[in-house]
Structure 1
Amino acid sequence: MQIVYWILIFFGTFLTMEFMAWFTHKYIMHGFLWVLHKDHHHKDHNSWFERNDLFFIFYAIVSMSLFYAGHVGYWYGYPLGFGILAYGIAYFVVHDIFIHQRFKLFRNANHWYAKGVRRAHKIHHKHLGKKDGECFGMLFVPFKYFKR
């Protein structure tokens, strides 16, 4: 029976992370920690790394802490940690590799979902300031972006 709970917690955590990404992006990255996120919108740097990457490191630390909790006896730490890790991998593949082409992969993706996600993110980046932004999610974006 524990495996059922493990699977439910894993998928629940993965789905909850989409909300957390939206919330963090809208209210924290475009709020009081804009100083860390700004270089992602302005590209006024020559480095491959951005201050924005610190958000990724924060969630990696949370995930690793949950693995440790699982190791010391709190079994639910493992599915929570793996759910956050899986979302982090999905976010990295979609956002950093597919959309921003930090690695030159998936350049010719022609699927309706890929086009919609990329379109939504382009709309988000047309706003260079921290105000008046839209479409803060990553994997689940409004249907209007999937229309031609």
Structure 2
Amino acid sequence: MRNRILTAVLSLALCGLAAPAGAQRTDAQTSDFADARSFPYKNGEQLYHAICQGCHMPDGKGATGAGTYPALAANPNLEAGAYPIHMIVNGQKAMPSFHYLSDEQVVAVVNYVRTHFGNDYKDPVTVEDVKGMRQ
């Protein structure tokens, strides 16, 4: 019994170490980034690795386990640029809002995801698209 408890405690501790920093932050945890200028990442790849890959995986293929994290790889939902903008700015269900990102950061990560992981959507989203979603 003691070994099972120790194993469970170690497993929980390792789960916390396995996810990259910022993998699945809640709004309360990101309050230090309320001013998007203080969030250090600017390009789409950096942003993806800092805040998206913890759930959607480094290869964008998603995961299933304690929850279901949809694949971004070859995802037809990304064809409409408004969809990923909405998800990032507003969140939905288990997907938290990343409203603290600047419009430029949202554009960078959306355009990155829409052109990587087997996605080839050539019409980039713009800052105006993000501003429209925030209103």
Regarding TM over 0.5, the answer is: no
Which structure dedicates a bigger proportion of its chain to helix? 1
Flag the structure with more relative contact order, 1 or 2, with Cα contacts below 8 A and sequence separation at least 6: 1
Task: Compute the TM-score of the two structures, normalised by the length of structure 1.
Answer: 0.29
TM-score (norm 2): 0.31
